[in-house]
Structure formats: C-alpha cells, structure tokens
Structure 1
Amino acid sequence: MPAKGKHRRPKAQRFTRSIAVAGTGGAALALPLLGATGAHAATPQSAPEKVVSQVVQKKAAAKSATVRHYTVKAGDYLSKIAHDQHVSGGWKKLYADNRAVIGSDPSLIHPGLKLALGKEAATAKTSASSAVAKSSTKSSATKPSAKTVTAAKPAAATGYSLPVAGAAVGTGYHVAGSMWSSGYHTGVDFVVPTGTSLKAVASGTVVSAGWGGAYGNQVVIKLHDGYYAQYGHLSQLSVSAGQTVSAGQQIGLSGATGNVTGPHLHFEIRTTPNYGSDVDPVAYLRSHGLAVG
C-alpha cells in the first residue's frame, strides 16, 4: 500500500504540473501575442504621411485662393490692367510677377495671355477705396470751397499740361549728331520707363495716331493755338485720328518702338504736322507756365 501510494502521488503531481505548465504557457503565449497584435492594429503606420499630405494640400489650396488671374483682351496694356484690377505696385509689379510669360518687353502683351494678379490684388481695391474716402474727407474738412475740386487738375488753371509728369530731360533740343537726318535733335527726350502715361499738352484734335517709321508708334495733335505736338516711340495708343482731346488727357503710353536705344518719350512742338517744322519744345512749355526739369 505505501508503495502504491507513492506511485500515485507522483502521477498526480505530474498531471497537475502539466496542466499548470500548459495553462501558464498558454497564457504566456496567447496574452502577449494578442496584446501586441492589438496594439499594432490600433496605430496605423501611414498616419504621419496622411497628416503631412493634408497640411500640404491645405497650404496649396490657401495659396491658390489668394491669387487671381486675368486674361488679356484687345486694347489692354499693363498700366490699364494694373489700374482696373487694383494691382498693388502698379504695372511694374504686374510685369515683375508675369515676366516669365510676357518676356523681356512689357509692351508686347497680346489677347489671350493669362496674367497672375498676385495675392495683394484682392485687398487693393478696398485699400484704395478707403484711401480715396479718407483723402476726400480730409480735403473737404480743410478746403471746402469749389476751387478744391479742380485743384487736382493743374491743366485746368492754364489750359496746358506737361506731356509726362515728373520726368527728367534726357537728350535736349537741337543737340547735334549724325544719328539724326537733320543733323540735330528735333525734339526733347523725356526719360521714362515703358508704360508711363502720356498727356495732351493742350486741347486739340488728333491729326495722326499710328506707325511713324523711325518714330515708332506716334501721335500728332493739332493744338487749339495752331501749333502741333508730336509724341514718338509709344508702346500703346489711347487715341485715334480725328478725335478731340483736352489738356491733360491720356493719349498713349511711353515705350521703345522705332529707332531707339531705350524707352523714352520723344516730344516735339511743330508749326506744321510735318517733320522739319520744329520749334523749341521746352521754351514752348515754359511759355505757358509749365516747369520743365
């Protein structure tokens, strides 16, 4: 009996130990494996890439939303587009932003060309309107008389206007040189960049507006006092033959068309519409109270 008892006890111990080991082993193998699998399933590896992609897409969408575009139409020129579309920085900024599509000459734009107007353009109109309103309020408060309304038009006082505002004189009148067929410079050159607004010096009628050979695109106006004003090398024309103009009215934009070494306005005063009847244009302007630099 004692021998059998000893024999049964070891069997019971092995059976219990086997179950315990199996149970312990099963738990040890199952629980960590299940826990690890669950942890990996709950944290997708692609999440960081998704977040980065979404941020990039949002930034791109925000950027594109702040940039407007304009398609060039017949008769357009950069300063007109910049003014009408309220481009902050004017035609120079518009040209700088679109130089890659326009090319080296800002006057050579064509219908169908797509221009980016920049992120500032969206708010420029509001800023400009606010500035005008503020300026008008200030003017009304300080100078409420009717005279204040016309003070912004210097041509109204004398009936004459400078052909281009604030421009320095380059080549003067009667400068001798073999480059001119007459042997001397028949007008005066005002140094201005392409796209600068040019004004009628007095009221009159446009005699011609178009290609003028060495003068490039030109405008000739018969002034009310009988003299003729000629504008050469224009990039754009704003008037046509037969049209009446008033002092200070825009007649075109400066450029570098015809025989030139760079952009400027060639300006003449003549006694007839023809070449060779020139008089000193600076003396003419000064005789009508206009300061020429």
Structure 2
Amino acid sequence: MLAALAGASTAGAASAASAAGAASATAAGPPAAYGQHVAGAARAEPAPPPYRVRKGDTLTAISRRLGVPLDRLYDVNRSVIGSDPNLLRPGQVLRAPTPGWTAPVDAEYRISARYGLPGDGWIAGYHTGVDLAVPTGTPVYSVGPGEVHSTSTEGAYGNHILVRMADGHYVLYAHLDRMSVADGDRVEGGTRIGDSGNTGNSTGPHLHFEVRTGTDYGTDVDPVEYLATYGIDI
C-alpha cells in the first residue's frame, strides 16, 4: 500500500539537474494550469463520483459496490478513514479510483520535490514533475492505458520512458534503473514498465514522474492534479 511521507530527501535536487539537461528545451513560463482533455484525443473514463458512507457500511461492502479492490480503496482514502479500515463513520466521503488506473509506485515513498517548485537549476524556472524518493529497484507501473512513445538511456533524465496515454497526455518516468518496455508497446494501468533508479543527473534514488500535453519539455501540467482526476492520490 502507498504511504506518502512528507519531507525532503537527497533526491530533492535530482530533477533540478535533470530538467537542466534537456538542452533542446527553451525557457518556459509558470506552470500550466491542468486541463484533463488534450484536443483531438479520446477522452478517458473519469473517476467515479465520491461515495458518502452510510450507517452500517463496511469498507469491504463499499469496495464490492464500487468494483474497486479493497486495498486500493483504502489506500486512496487512508487520510479520511484513518489507521483502522474497519472504523467508518456515516457521512465520510470516499473517493474511488478509476478502474484501470493506479499510482506509479506501490511502495512507501517520500515526495522529495513537488511540481512547480521554483529554482534556477531548471530551464523552465520550476520543477516540471514530482519526485518520489524510493529505493533503487522499486517497481514502476504505468498509471493508465496507453502506448510507449519512446524510451531512452541518454541525457539528464537517464533511463526514461515516455508513454502516450489514452487521453492524449504524455507521462514521463525518469532516472530508471531498468526499463522493461520498448517503443510501441501497449501498456495498461498496473503494467510494470521498469524499476526506479538513480541514472542521469540525479543525487539520490527516486522516480521523476511528469505529465505533459505534448512530447516536448515545457508542456508539463500538474501531475498530482492529473492523477487526482482518475481518483489516484500521491
């Protein structure tokens, strides 16, 4: 189960250097406002509506009603439910992740650099993704359905994968230790695409997770808001 831990880590400066290595990119303005749909792309299924807990409900019964695995439902709503998944209170509002969508890692992590963090080390002037500090070798998963647009071992991002999602966005997974997909491969939410690492311009093991409206550096949108659209919380 995912357990996001607040704070910084040695990986915090990692993607600052990674963005600086995108030599072909030009300076961009402030972070773009997130918009779910990319023009000309098929719309992916949005997250189911929130569920309000009723008297007598159990998390197991709710997971069956919503068609969501029990552990995923609890992970997404841990901050609402608390440490004991058996203690539900009427009136609590639970979010259900969209079927077929998941977080990029299923392990304990720490956010070491958030999206939009300002800094001169990035060509854009801010951090274009979110860094999840995890040990080298942590499995990395596609967050949803799509097709591998490109894979590369070069540049400041180190080993990295760019996936074109079904909704038209592009998701970048960078600084990987290992890649297990190739250009043109079809992936689904939960497909293991590689392992996290410390390649490229990185000061500590982590996954740099970035969402774009196009293939180029500087077309980024808030990755946390993007995943939240599908009921995924990181």
Query: What's 1:264 paired with?
Result: 206
Q: 1:208 pairs with 150, 161, 166, which one? A: 150
Q: What is the Cα deviation at residue 272 of structure 1?
A: 0.6
- 2:105 equivalent in structure 1: 164
1:230 to 172, 195, 198: 172
CA distance in 2, matches of 1:250, 1:213: 23
| Distance change in 2, residues 1:239/1:152 (3 Å) | farther
Extract unaligned runs of 5+ from structure 2.
1-59, 73-95
Instruction: Give the letter for the 2:175 counterpart.
Output: H
1-side partners of 2:145 and 2:183: how far apart?
14
Relative to structure 1, is the Cα distance of residues 288 and 150 closer, same or farther in structure 2, using a 3 angstrom cutoff? closer
User: Moved runs in structure 1, 4+ residues, more than 4 A?
Assistant: 152-157
Q: Would the aligned equivalents of 1:164 and 1:197 in 2 still touch at CA under 8 Å?
A: yes
Q: How many Å apart are 1:286 and its aligned residue?
A: 1.2
Q: CA deviation at 1:183?
A: 1.4
1:156–1:247 CA contact under 8 A, matched in 2: no
Of 240, 248, 259, the residue aligned with 2:190 is 248
- Count of matched residue pairs: 150
Q: 2-side partners of 1:199 and 1:216: how far apart?
A: 18
Q: Which has the higher strand share?
A: 2
SS in 1 for 2:156: helix
CA shift at 1:157, angstroms? 4.9
Give the partner amino acid of 1:159. Answer: G
Q: Does the CA-based 8 Å contact 1:172-1:187 persist in structure 2?
A: yes
- Aligned residue number for residue 47 of structure 2: none
Report deviation, 1:153. 8.4
Who is 2:116 aligned against? 174
Which SS does the other structure have where 2:122 is aligned? coil
The amino acid across from 2:105 in the alignment is V
Pair 1:237–1:289, CA change in 2 (3 A): same
Shift of 1:215: 0.3
Q: Deviations over 1:123-161 (max 9, x none)?
A: xxxxxxxxxxxxxxxxxxx99xx99x9737859852211
Contact 1:158/1:289, CA 8 A, preserved across alignment = no
**Structure (1 or 2) with the larger CA radius of gyration:** 1
Q: Deviations over 1:72-111 (max 9, x none)?
A: xxxxxxxxxxxxxxxxxxxxxxxxxxxxxxxxxxxxxxxx
What is the alpha-carbon distance in structure 2 between the residues aligned to residue 156 and residue 183 of structure 1? 32
Residue 129 of structure 2 is aligned with which of 174, 180, 187? Answer: 187
Deviation at 1:247, TM superposition (A): 0.4
Q: TM-score, normalised by structure 2?
A: 0.59
In the aligned structure 2, how far is the partner of 1:279 from the partner of 1:150?
Answer: 27
Closer/same/farther in 2, CA of residues 283 and 156 from structure 1, 3 Å limit: closer
State the alpha-carbon separation in 2 of the partners of residues 264 and 164 from structure 1.
Answer: 11
Task: Name the CA distance, whole Å, in 1 between partners of 2:204 and 2:153.
Answer: 18
Q: Judge conservation of contact 2:97–2:231 (CA < 8 Å) in 1.
A: no
* Structure 2 counterpart of 1:151: 69
Higher relative contact order by CA 8 Å / sep ≥ 6: 1 or 2? 2
More helix by share: 1
**What is the SS of the residue equivalent to 1:158?**
coil
